[in-house]
Structure 1
Amino acid sequence: MQITIDIPDEYIQQLEPNLEALPQQVLETLVVEAYKDQRLTHAEVGRILKLDRFQVDAFLKQNQAYLHYTIDDFNQDLQTLQKVLGEQS
């Protein structure tokens, strides 16, 4: 998909040095916001931006888009850990 953005001519000169990077910056901003809103997963961020999982982690951290991890997720992980450790005894 291609998206066109109209920028008033009077602002082009101010944006000029960075115009070549603008499409990537817009894509990254869109992806970060979609991740924060839980419309994209970690894996989808990686596929869209062509990043491996570690690069996605760094990218999301850099953009203050942290892992969606609730207290319920923590409690479930804790129960799983206790079950696994109990089975090893």
Structure 2
Amino acid sequence: MQIQIALPDDLAFSLEAKWGSLERRLTEMIVIEAYREGSISVGKVRELLGMKTRLEVDDFLKAKGVDLPYSEADLEADSQTHEQLRKDGKLPLL
């Protein structure tokens, strides 16, 4: 789908000078808002913005001030993984 919007030329030129491609910037803004409200997943963000990795998406969202979901269950799982790697000798003791 294509959507057209009308902007006064002076505003469009000013924003384009500041932001670069208005089409890209508007796409990013819509994708960010859709992600924030839970309408799309991280994978869909990656697809829509043409990013190659999840890390690239995480960096992008962080730079835009979007908190990444990280629950207590995620923390517990990470702690268990860390402890297991340490027991296996794959992580140095700090």
TM-score scaled by length of structure 2: 0.67
Match of 1:25 in 2: 25
Question: Hey, which of these two has a bigger chunk of helix by percent?
Answer: 1
Helix, strand or coil at the partner of 1:27: helix
Specify which structure has the bigger relative contact order, considering alpha-carbon pairs within 8 angstroms and separated by 6 or more residues.
1
Q: Where does structure 1 lack aligned partners over 5 or more consecutive residues?
A: none
Note the aligned Cα RMSD (angstroms): 2.9
Helix, strand or coil at the partner of 2:21: helix
Count matched residues. Answer: 84
Following TM superposition, the consecutive aligned residue runs of length 4 or more in structure 1 with deviations greater than 3 angstroms are: 72-79
Q: CA deviation at 1:34?
A: 0.9
Which residue of 9, 12, 16 maps to 1:15? 12
Q: Distance between the aligned counterparts of 1:49 and 1:14, measured in 2?
A: 25
Instruction: Report percent identity of matched pairs.
Output: 28
Match of 1:45 in 2: 45
